[in-house]
Amino acid sequence: MRVLVTGFEPFGGDAVNASGEAVTALAEGWNDPTIHLVTAILPVTFAGAPAALAAAIGEHRPDAVVCVGEAGGRAAVTPERYAVNERAARIPDNDGATPAGPIDSGPERLESRIDVEHVATAIAAAGVPAHVSEDAGRFVCNAVFRAVLTGFAGPAGFVHVPTVRETGTATVGAETDEAATAAVSALTTADLVTALDAAVRALT
């Protein structure tokens, strides 16, 4: 089984993005010959991220895709149930764009094609706090979630991780949960790798 896992580059002035750091570390430590893990780091742009995702899918021909992003209002890892048909940029993306309105001509919501309850349970069983989220926001994470559901036919989903920083404090993240108060997560990058490892294995 070949699984593509994607993360994001830093954005909004922050030097790191927890999703990109965790996905890179996951790939570096992967040693399971039964699952061929491939990864990609996407740009935080409404135009570029779906295109980069499509290119990675075309290159690797995966059997399943798990996209990962960071959410600053959350202290747990949260598999997302729905991708909504809306863009709303609270801050500019890395191209300086602030689009608003529908993403495509499809329905208001598309549901994840991975079992989000099973994935959340698997992550929690690995020792990392996790629960299902019903709302992936309106920023680039949601746009990528929407893109994988419309541009890939196999099992596909999205997982948000907290804005873990090994040093310093995240200044971004409210793009996912604009009304949420800042959440301080006790998780480390190693914890996020454990969570993503469990999420990938839960697909098999």
Decide: 151 and 51 in contact? Cβ < 8 Å: no
In terms of phi and psi (left: phi > 0; alpha: psi -120 to 50; beta: otherwise), the region of 168 is left
Return the exposure string of 122-156: e unless at least 16 CB atoms fall within 10 Å of the residue's CB, then b: bbbebebbbeebebbbbbbbbbbbbbbbbebebbb
Quote the CA–CA distance of 192 and 154 in Å, as a whole number.
24
Residue 141 a catalytic site member: yes
Quote the CA–CA distance of 48 and 154 in Å, as a whole number.
22
Catalytic-role residue among 141, 174, 196, 199: 141
Catalytic machinery residues? 141
